[in-house]
Every structure is written in C-alpha cells, then in structure tokens.
Structure 1
Amino acid sequence: MFFLLLFSVFLVSIIVSWIIAKIFDKPIEKILEKIINDPISYAWKKYLIFAIYITGISSGVRIWDIEKYLGYSNFNPKGEMIERTISLTPERWILEILRAIIEALQGISVMLLVFFIFALIAFVIMKVIENKHSEKKNI
C-alpha cells in the first residue's frame, strides 16, 4: 500500500507540473525572447520548463512525510520497544493527494516568482539602456 501511495503522489506531482509547464510555456518563451533576443532563449526556456518539473515533483513528493506510513519504533521508559504504524485510510489518501497538489503548486509558484522578478529587473534595465541610447542618438 505504501508503494502505491508513493507512486500516486509522484504521478500527481508530474501531472501538476505538466499542467503548469503548459500554462506558462508561451509566457516564458515571450519573456525570454524579449530579454535575451537570441536563439539561446530557446535553451533557457527548455531549462525553465525542466526546472518547473523538478521543483513540482520534489515539492509534491515529500518523502520525509510519507515515511510515517512505514512505521517506526520507540522505546518506553522500561526499555521495551513499541512499534507504531499509521494506517492508510481513504481519508489519509485524499489528504496526501491534496497535499501533493498544494505543495507542488507552492514550489512551482515560488520558482516562477523568482524567475519573473529577475525577468522584470532585466526588462527595466534594458529599457533604461535603450532610453539612454535613443537620447544619445537624438543629441
């Protein structure tokens, strides 16, 4: 059952990443073409799409949280071992799937926010440089 949960969370994270990559494919392409204005912008777009997948999957599949379903052992004060496991009920399945969706979206949104902030800074710098060049030509 644990492996099925792990596979399900992994698959959900891939699907969420794919949807976000499709939604942001054209905007990323347009922004990079505007900022870089070189054929290398295609390579940067591919890298950003790859980063969306990696960020979405690594954020959505939280191994350290899913490990709790494997069970763990504790010792009581008398030195006796106590085995503990958390069962995978339908409610826990739904919570884990929803948590995978939310965490994948959060990770991707932070990554894209950083990209768009740097893209905005680069765009403003380019506009300032273009304005200075156009002023020099007009003089």
Structure 2
Amino acid sequence: MFISLLIVTFLIALIVSGLVGRFFSQPVERILGRIVEDDIRYAWTRYLTFAIYVVGISGGVRIFELEKYITSRYTDSNMPDLNLERWVLEVYRTIIETLQSIAWLLFSFFVFALIAYVIVRIAGKRHQSNEAKKKINE
C-alpha cells in the first residue's frame, strides 16, 4: 500500500508540475526575452522548466511525511492506516505542497527578473543618452 501511495503522489506532483510549467512557459519566455539575448534565453527557459519539475516533485512528494507509514517507530496500534480518508488527505497535501513549492520558485524568479529588467532599462537609457551626447558633439 505504501508503494502505491508513493507512486500516486509522485505522479500527481509530476502532473501538477507539468501543468504549471506549461501555464507559465509563455510569461517566462517573454520576460527572459526582454532581459537576456536570444541565444541564452532558450537555455534559461529550459533550466527554469527543469527547476519547476524538480521543486514541484520534491515539494509534493514529502518523503519524511510518508515515512510514517513504514517506520518501526510506531507500534502496530499506533501506525496510521492507509484508508480512503488518509489517501484523500495525502493526495490533497501533494497538490497543495507541489503548488506551494512552485509558487515560491516562480516568485523568486519574478522578483529577480524584475530587478534585472530595471537594471537593463537603466543601462539602456544611459546608453541612449551617451549616444545622443556623441551626436551633439560631432
């Protein structure tokens, strides 16, 4: 029963991560298009997609939480049963934890992307003003 629960939580975390990755692929692509050059944008997009999967699966499949179903710390009367209610709770936790982990990853990405965007804009304005000064001096 434990192996089934482990496989189910892994598959759910994988599916949720895939859906979130697809949902955010266009915004990430556009943001990176404004910040970095085209040749490196593809690599960064692929890396962020990979990170979404890794963070989502590792956040959704909580090995330490699932360990309570197989460890010998519990006596037979103390060990939690894997009944229908427990399965529903574990599936719900998997979905929520996967989404929460990915949300933190994407929040971090968007904060750093916003900072990078501001820096690129400031550098672009300085470059334009330097070009305008050179034209005036010529």
Instruction: Judge same fold: TM > 0.5, yes or no.
Output: yes
Identity over aligned pairs, percent: 45
What SS is found at the alignment partner of 2:23?
Answer: helix
Aligned length: 132
Deviation string for 1:15-59 (max 9, x for gaps)? 000000000111111111111023111011001000000000000
- 1:78 match: none
Name the structure 2 match of 1:133: 127
Structure with a larger share of its residues in strand:
1
Q: Work out whether 1:67 is the aligned partner of 2:61.
A: no
Q: CA 1:137–1:61 in structure 2 vs 1: closer, same or farther (change >3 Å)?
A: same
Question: Which letter maps to 2:63?
Answer: I
**Partners of 1:71 and 1:86 within 8 A in 2:** no
Q: Does 1:113 align with 2:107?
A: yes
Unaligned ranges ≥5, structure 1: 75-81
Cα RMSD (Å): 1.2
2:92 is matched with 98
Quick one: which amino acid aligns to residue 34 of structure 2? K
> Normalised by the size of structure 1, how large is the TM-score?
0.90
Q: Which runs of 4+ in 1 moved over 3 A?
A: none
- 120-129 vs 33-42, greater mean Cα deviation: 33-42
Match of 2:24, SS? helix
| Residue 5 (structure 2) aligns with | 5
| Residue segments in structure 2 that go unaligned for 5+ positions in a row | 134-138
* Residue aligning to 2:25: 25
